[in-house]
Amino acid sequence: MIYWFLVFLGGGAGSICRYFLAQKLNYSGQEYLNFPIGTILANVLSCFILGILIQKQLNHQLSEQYRLLLATGFCGGFSTFSTFGYEIYTYMQKDQLLLGAGYVSLSLLAGVLALIAGMKLI
């Protein structure tokens, strides 16, 4: 029963961190900025943290409890595929296809590189 609670705690903490990051970097006052740097940063940082955690788990240095708290919970709450999808949709609605394609490319490339960097750090 403690396992679901660890996921709950980590997910809540990750979601709160993502919320503040998005509020600080995606908005200027009440106006949404044209490029969602907060979302990209949350997703890339989450990939980096997950890379560290994966490598620690592969090295048998991460307990099941910490994996659930940090990888499943925190990284799951901190990263946001649904917001990523919505932001791509808004680029399509505004006929900003080039900007949207750049956003997709940057997000995927930076995320994979961050994951690899996290794994190599350990």
Rg, the chain, Cα only: 16
Among 40, 55, 37, CA closest to 117: 55
Burial class (CB in 10 A: 0-12, 13-18, 19+), 120: exposed
Tokens of 79: 């990263």
Burial class (CB in 10 A: 0-12, 13-18, 19+), 84: buried
Tokens of 57: 């788990």
Q: Domain-by-domain residue ranges, the chain?
A: 2-121
Tokens of 72: 């499943």
Residue by residue, pLDDT tens for the chain (122 residues) are 699 999 999 999 999 999 999 989 988 766 677 889 999 999 999 999 999 999 999 999 999 999 999 999 999 999 999 999 999 999 999 999 999 999 999 999 999 999 999 999 99
User: What single letter denotes the amino acid at residue 35?
Assistant: F
Among 64, 81, 60, CA closest to 72: 64
pTM to 2 decimal places:
0.93
> 3-state DSSP: the chain helix, strand, coil percent, rounded to 5?
80, 5, 15
